[in-house]
Amino acid sequence: MKIAVCPGSFDPVTYGHLDIITRACDIFDRVYVAVLTNPAKSALFTPDERVEMLSTATRHLDAVICERFDGLVVEYARLRGAIAIVRGLRAVTDFEFELKMASMNHHLDKEVETVFMMTSNEYSFLSSSAVKEVASLGGNVSAWVPSCVAEALTRKYSHAREAEIS
Ligand code: ADP
């Protein structure tokens, strides 16, 4: 059984992430998608909300299990018996950061390979932060995220606007 982990912030999950997760399912028998809490990034959604949206968006993929993990990616990969960490690459701008992470992870655990997948063209400029920016200004994000995420974004930002007014 070939197992992979797809780690990320997924704040929130986009069609770009789902493209990578779906393609990982063609290569691996089981794909664990892990919401990792990154203390350096302030998130809009709680880890549990992010896992819930991921689980809904990947319901049709039998090989996928979504969960949260607080700790090192290599530790998570070891725990799940994974042979690979799958990451998506959008543009050259992602490369330097990803190379650094892959090198550090390789140093920490030589048994786990990092596998990069090039993003599909239509998602190469898609990021969670751009989606949040558009949604916060009331824009329509339904081309970039599943409906459960678009709805959650609308709820978050309408609450924020109500709080601002009162
Ligand atoms: P992180 O905070 O760890 O970078 P993200 O949630 O932003 O996590 O992304 C998780 C993974 O998905 C990363 O490998 C990232 O490169 C990839 N990814 C993000 N957006 C896209 C996209 N539009 N197309 C393909 N891969 C993407």
The alpha carbon of 160 and the centre of ligand 1 are apart by a number of angstroms equal to 26
The alpha carbon of 162 and the centre of ligand 1 are apart by a number of angstroms equal to 31
132 domain residue, yes or no: no
134 domain residue, yes or no: no
What is the residue with the minimal CA distance to atom 23 of ligand 1? 16
Ligand 1 pocket check for 88: Cβ under 6 Å? yes
Q: Which of 6, 13, 17, 100 to mutate to test the pocket of ligand 1 (most atoms within 8 A of CB)?
A: 17
User: What is the number of domains present in the chain?
Assistant: 1
66 domain residue, yes or no: yes
pLDDT, residue 41, reads 78
DSSP structure class, residue 136 = H
Residue 86 has, within 13 A of its CA and on its CB side, a CA count of: 26
156 domain residue, yes or no: no
What is the residue with the minimal CA distance to atom 26 of ligand 1? 88
- For the record, the structure tokens of 163 come out as 């709080």
| Positions in the chain whose pLDDT score sits under 70 | 159, 161-166
165 domain residue, yes or no: no
142 domain residue, yes or no: no
For the entire predicted model, the pTM comes to 0.92
11 domain residue, yes or no: yes
- Of 77, 80, 87, 96, whose CA–CA distance to 10 is shortest? 87
pLDDT, residue 158, reads 84
Which domain CATH number covers 12?
3.40.50.620
Angle at 160 between CA 158 and CA 163, to 5 degrees: 110
DSSP string, 93-112: HHHHHHHHHHHHHHHH-TT-
**Structural domain harbouring 103:** 3-124
Which residue numbers are catalytic?
17, 41, 90, 128
pLDDT, residue 165, reads 63
pLDDT, residue 91, reads 80
139 domain residue, yes or no: no
pLDDT, residue 118, reads 93
